[in-house]
A and B are shown apart, each in its own frame.
Chain A
Amino acid sequence: MNYLEHVGKYFLMLGRVFKKPQKTKVFYAALLKEIEDLGLKSLGIIMFISFFIGGVIALQTALNLDNPFIPDSLVGFAAKRSIILEFAPTFCSIILAGKVGSYITSSIGTMRVTEQIDALEVMGINSLNHLVLPKILATIFFYPFLISLGMFLGIFGGWVAGVLSGLFSGVEYIEGVQLEFNPFLLFYAILKTLVFAFLIATVPSYHGYYVKGGSIAVGKASTQSVVWTTILIVITNYFLTQMLLT
């Protein structure tokens, strides 16, 4: 199957996904479960990585701006910009594409190869709507919170690194963080997050739903879904940046 066929099939899949749920009560229960599985269970890794990468960004910035004419507050400013613009929305989304994407593909793929999806279809249930729509809404609803938390912890990690290493003072770092606050950049970061959240939910779902074969095929599909989600995040990131910031 060539790439264009995959693209067509992906959009046809979305056409079946975006239908009114057959039973609202069941849908809300599924949505809450997906928020837990795809969102809450990713809190730990995002918090951990954000904190330490924020620290590393601040340390690297401080080490590379070792010039008496450059104020220390610039470290906080640069770290804030790097974290809000790229690290939190893009880097964290790529991490989520790996963690959540492989989970989505393998869970839907296993349902496919064990005929659970056929069972849903035979019962008269729109399996794509039932399985994928709650995932899309869960990621779109929850990831902005997750990424915002990542931004906060990244910046906080930078402050902790500065204070512990003595490379810059905490006060100046905070001054830098507060310098030239531009709300549009937050809007840009959240918009990117929403687009990436949609990709993280739909691309792995596509790979899982249309898997053919057995457990090896599910494993391959999981790998492929992570690769393609990452590629699409990187490409979309480029175009969104060009469209919104230039």
Chain B
Amino acid sequence: MIEVNNLHKGFGDVKVLKGITATFHPGKTSLIIGQSGSGKTVFLKSLIGLHTPEDGTISFDGRINTKFTDDEKQQWRQEIGMVFQGSALFDSQTVEENIMFPLKMFTKQTNDEMLDRVNFVINRVNLQNSNNKLPAELSGGMQKRVAIARAIVMNPKYLFCDEPNSGLDPQTAIVIDNLIQEITDEYNITTVINTHDMNSVMEIGEKIVFLKNGKKAWEGNSEGIFKTDNESVVDFVYSSNLFKRVREAYLNEKK
């Protein structure tokens, strides 16, 4: 479980996060949504330790990350899997090498053991026959699968995804969403996803945190997002006519 308490973060005079409090549970897919500039990415980067909070705490199963010793931090890092917006695959390495990299760095497994594990996660993300391809030879969706495979190869307790659907067609986006949700269920991972994609919100939003101007403006789930009359959420989520009609249909059905 990840508990965020009164998180503040700024850059110079610009305050980006203004006292965010939230809890993310294992085995659940939690989504962070909000407009561009609302602080989603800074929030996610603070969770994974790329930004140091100015105030507030982030605890991982009771361990506060800013109080880690170097060894504890190293251990904690290995419990984290991260899928970056642009996949962040290492250009010069093949799919197999990309996925094997954390194993090479942090385990004492033999080459055969590492290959077994790599092939297992490659099969898990349905990316067979791509072991020797370079990232540049893969489509955006395939790159995301490799990024997910690399993120889960060390059996992480916490999985973070920064806009995993950006740049993907709707069909591939749903496949990636479902894959993340299945992995979260299967391995009881605490998963936090930054997204703009309303399909993701409806499909996999077991918990949704809506950020506005660096503050938490709403919290709920995909069911709740239909019913809420929070003006900021309604303006953001139902900005398109399609989603407005979906919501109306849903509410009429409930009546």
Nearest Cβ on chain A to B205's Cβ, whole angstroms = 24
Indicate with 1 or 0, residue by residue over B83-99, a CB within 8 angstroms of chain A CB atoms. 01110111100000000
A56 and B210 CA atoms in complex are apart in Å by 70
Nearest Cβ on chain A to B231's Cβ, whole angstroms = 34
How many interface residues does A have (CB within 8 Å)? 16
B88 touches A123 (CB 8 A): no
Residues of B within 8 A of A26 (CB): 104-105
Q: Which of B80-129 contact A (CB under 8 A)?
A: 80, 82, 84-86, 88-91, 101-102, 104-106
B77 touches A122 (CB 8 A): yes
**B74 part of interface (Cβ distance < 8 Å):** yes
Nearest B-chain residue to A25, judged by Cβ: B104
Q: Which of B45-94 contact A (CB under 8 A)?
A: 45, 48-50, 73-74, 76-78, 80, 82, 84-86, 88-91
A119 and B50 CA atoms in complex are apart in Å by 10
Nearest Cβ on chain B to A112's Cβ, whole angstroms = 11
A89 and B49 CA atoms in complex are apart in Å by 43
Number of A-B contacts (CB under 8 A): 52
A26 and B85 CA atoms in complex are apart in Å by 27
**A32 part of interface (Cβ distance < 8 Å):** no
**A121 part of interface (Cβ distance < 8 Å):** yes
Contact of A124 among B50, B77, B84, B104 (CB under 8 A): B77
Residues of A within 8 A of B80 (CB): 122-123
Nearest Cβ on chain A to B65's Cβ, whole angstroms = 12
Contact of B50 among A22, A110, A116, A118 (CB under 8 A): A118
Nearest A-chain residue to B78, judged by Cβ: A124
Indicate with 1 or 0, residue by residue over A117-129, a CB within 8 angstroms of chain B CB atoms. 0110111110000
A124 touches B88 (CB 8 A): no
A123 and B104 CA atoms in complex are apart in Å by 12
Q: Which of A2-28 contact B (CB under 8 A)?
A: 22-23, 25-26
Given contacts A23-B105, A25-B104, A26-B104, contact A114 B50 (CB under 8 A): no
**A66 part of interface (Cβ distance < 8 Å):** no
B85 touches A123 (CB 8 A): no
Nearest Cβ on chain A to B122's Cβ, whole angstroms = 18
Contact of A119 among B73, B84, B106 (CB under 8 A): B84
Nearest Cβ on chain A to B142's Cβ, whole angstroms = 17
A116 touches B104 (CB 8 A): no
A110 and B80 CA atoms in complex are apart in Å by 24
Q: List residues of chain B with CB under 8 Å of any chain A CB.
A: 45, 48-50, 73-74, 76-78, 80, 82, 84-86, 88-91, 101-102, 104-106
Can you give 10 contacting A-B residue pairs, CB < 8 Å?
A23-B106, A25-B104, A116-B91, A121-B49, A122-B49, A123-B80, A123-B101, A123-B102, A123-B105, A124-B74
